[in-house]
Amino acid sequence: MAAVVGIDVATANVRASVVSAAGLLLGQGSHPLAPVSYPLEGWAEQDATTWWPATCRAVSQALSVAARNSGRAPSIAAVAVSGTSGTVVPVARDGEPLRTALMYSDRRASPQAERARSDARCGWDRLGLMPQAGFGYPKLLWLAANEPMPQGWSLCHVPDVVNWKLAGRPAPTDWSHALKSGYDPVAGRWTCPWPAPDDGGCVPPSVLPPGTLVGTVCEAAAADSGLPVGCEIRLGMTDSCAAQLACGAGGLGSYVSVLGTTLVLKGASSSLLSDPGGALYSHRHPEGWWLPGGASNTGGDALSAVPASELALLDQAASAMGPSTVVQYPLRRHGERFPFVEPAARGFVLGQPRSGVDAHRSVLEGVAFVERLGYERMVALGAAVPGRVMSAGAGGRSVAWLRIRATVLGRDLELPARSDTAYGAALLAAGSFYGTVTAASEAMLAPSKVVEGVPSEAAALNDSYGRFLEALASRGWLRDPPPGSISWTGASNE
């Protein structure tokens, strides 16, 4: 049975999926990683030497499960690795980490991020990017300035380290992981200047599209992982982009809302969407078009104070009650990054909830309002109005919340059969069979389920959404586009 392996090196563990050429999930495996440590305030590090052993164990487990489920060992044609965006580690000439990895959440490079934002050579504005301390490029500048490195060192993203082990030699990186390290996918080159080796820096790697064949599994890696010698190594994408592919939202005109702790919106556009406000930025699709997206600080975190055991009953009561009497912006943190960038943003409630159920319902609606505003923002910047919206993440398990969101958006929500990063990485590996990730997706992805909105609640929710926009604008947080300027559901918000 011909198959591929997709690997997701996440924060807490490594996950691996064995997927047949027909798209069937044959086996899965996982293994924990070293916990993230916080040696100083704002610092976040992980022992990168655990990435490869954990990968081997996860892959070996997935292969064993696949053989047991299928009655025989599958024939693995290719493997692809995805990882967290912005996590980097310096490595020696032999690919071994020289120190702990600087995680995507590490904030020590804030001064370097400010310097990068003002460097006109990088072209951040054209890409809609606003460099943050969590990006790879500021971390590179910090390492070069603060920690002496041996001659010939390299800066690697998470998959680069694993691919080095798989091939037994360094391999090119992909333009998805390279984006936040100073690679310009429009120009097709590194535009941010890396510190020269004589100044403590290193030469940036070559960059190729995700899905590109960059080598084969060596004997040592095969012995460690169980993958066959000569198995193709194909480049992956960042975790969120790989999950987008797994959902089936990687094709032109497709959009997906990932409702987890935060709310992430991602789409696929034929043209690059440039956002002067820095709320939206784009990765590049393996076939050249663009994957615009943004992440709000709202999402499932808005329900973090509710005991998990009570959520189902509250959802059921909220669904029976109908639209809330109050309007809420359920932001639990300080500051917002999408659909608008506003460090001063704080959550608010307009009115007094009649009950705990009413308050709960207003939270569900508030996240849906942020979701709609996010899509309106994308349309205002030039995205085509999506014909469909897919929903992934833990929040998609609540039917009540799905129906509220579908009603607010004025669109049915489609629930993909898969939405995990490892499966998305497997689609990239399946270029071995199909040539492109689009062809692989068409051949391998299962049909989606559909959740419809509640037409009788649409008018009330549209009214509440209008009040929500007015409240954001009155606080000076919503400046572009003006409230009510986007005809999203076919009815004016004014």
What is the per-residue pLDDT across 72-102, written as a single tens digit (0 to 9) for each?
Answer: 999 999 999 999 999 999 999 999 999 999 9
How much is the pLDDT for 487? 54
pLDDT tens digits for range 175-228:
999 999 999 999 999 999 999 998 888 999 999 999 999 999 999 999 999 999
How much is the pLDDT for 380? 87
User: Taking 60 as the threshold, does the pLDDT of residue 351 lie above it?
Assistant: yes
How much is the pLDDT for 484? 46
| Peptide linkage before 195 cis (omega within 30 of 0) | no
How much is the pLDDT for 485? 45
Same domain, 253 and 181: no
Task: Examine residue 433 and state whether it is found in any structural domain, yes or no.
Answer: no
With beta carbons less than 8 A apart as the criterion, state whether 403 and 296 touch.
no
Task: Examine residue 426 and state whether it is found in any structural domain, yes or no.
Answer: no
User: Taking 50 as the threshold, does the pLDDT of residue 494 lie above it?
Assistant: no
Among 50-59, 153-162, 240-249, name the one with the lowest average pLDDT: 240-249
How much is the pLDDT for 156? 98
pLDDT tens digits for range 454-492:
999 999 999 999 999 999 999 999 876 544 444 555 432
How much is the pLDDT for 396? 80
How much is the pLDDT for 488? 54
With beta carbons less than 8 A apart as the criterion, state whether 9 and 165 touch.
no
List the one residue out of 74, 54, 55, 79 whose CA is nearest residue 64.
Answer: 74
Task: Examine residue 422 and state whether it is found in any structural domain, yes or no.
Answer: no
How much is the pLDDT for 199? 82
Q: What is the mean pLDDT of residues 123-146?
A: 90
CATH number at residue 315: 3.30.420.40
How much is the pLDDT for 318? 97
Domain region containing 355: 249-415+454-474
| Confidence at 284, pLDDT banded by 50, 70, 90 | very high
| Confidence at 493, pLDDT banded by 50, 70, 90 | very low
Same domain, 140 and 275: no
Mean pLDDT of the chain, nearest integer: 92
User: Taking 90 as the threshold, does the pLDDT of residue 281 lie above it?
Assistant: no
- DSSP H or E segment with residue 56: helix 51-70
Task: Examine residue 483 and state whether it is found in any structural domain, yes or no.
Answer: no
Same domain, 200 and 275: no
Cα separation, 347 vs 333, whole angstroms: 8
User: Taking 50 as the threshold, does the pLDDT of residue 437 lie above it?
Assistant: yes
User: Taking 70 as the threshold, does the pLDDT of residue 364 lie above it?
Assistant: yes
pLDDT tens digits for range 375-415:
999 988 888 876 679 999 888 889 999 999 999 999 999 99
Residue-by-residue DSSP string for 270-337: SSPPP-TTSS-EEEE-TTS-EEEEEEES-SGGGGTTS-HHHHHHHHHHHHHH-S-SSEEE---SS-B-
Percent of the chain with pLDDT over 70: 96
Choosing from 207, 240, 273, the residue where a domain stops is 240
How much is the pLDDT for 447? 87
| Peptide linkage before 481 cis (omega within 30 of 0) | yes
pTM, two decimal places: 0.89
Task: Examine residue 448 and state whether it is found in any structural domain, yes or no.
Answer: no
Same domain, 91 and 195: yes
List the one residue out of 69, 72, 244, 91 whose CA is nearest residue 163.
Answer: 91
Same domain, 371 and 411: yes
Same domain, 226 and 362: no
Choosing from 240, 269, 284, the residue where a domain stops is 240
Same domain, 215 and 267: no
Choosing from 240, 272, 307, the residue where a domain stops is 240
User: Taking 80 as the threshold, does the pLDDT of residue 132 lie above it?
Assistant: yes
If one counts the domains in the chain, the total is 2
| Confidence at 341, pLDDT banded by 50, 70, 90 | confident
Among 258-267, 311-320, 434-443, name the one with the lowest average pLDDT: 258-267
How much is the pLDDT for 386? 67
Q: Quick one: tokens of 467?
A: 């009040």
Q: Quick one: tokens of 162?
A: 């694993």
User: Taking 60 as the threshold, does the pLDDT of residue 21 lie above it?
Assistant: yes
How much is the pLDDT for 483? 47
Same domain, 339 and 230: no
Same domain, 304 and 378: yes
Same domain, 350 and 293: yes
How much is the pLDDT for 133? 92
Task: Examine residue 437 and state whether it is found in any structural domain, yes or no.
Answer: no
Task: Examine residue 492 and state whether it is found in any structural domain, yes or no.
Answer: no
Task: Examine residue 494 and state whether it is found in any structural domain, yes or no.
Answer: no
How much is the pLDDT for 205? 95
Same domain, 60 and 99: yes
Same domain, 369 and 389: yes
Which runs of consecutive H residues, i.e. helices, occur in 71-155? 110-117, 124-127, 136-146
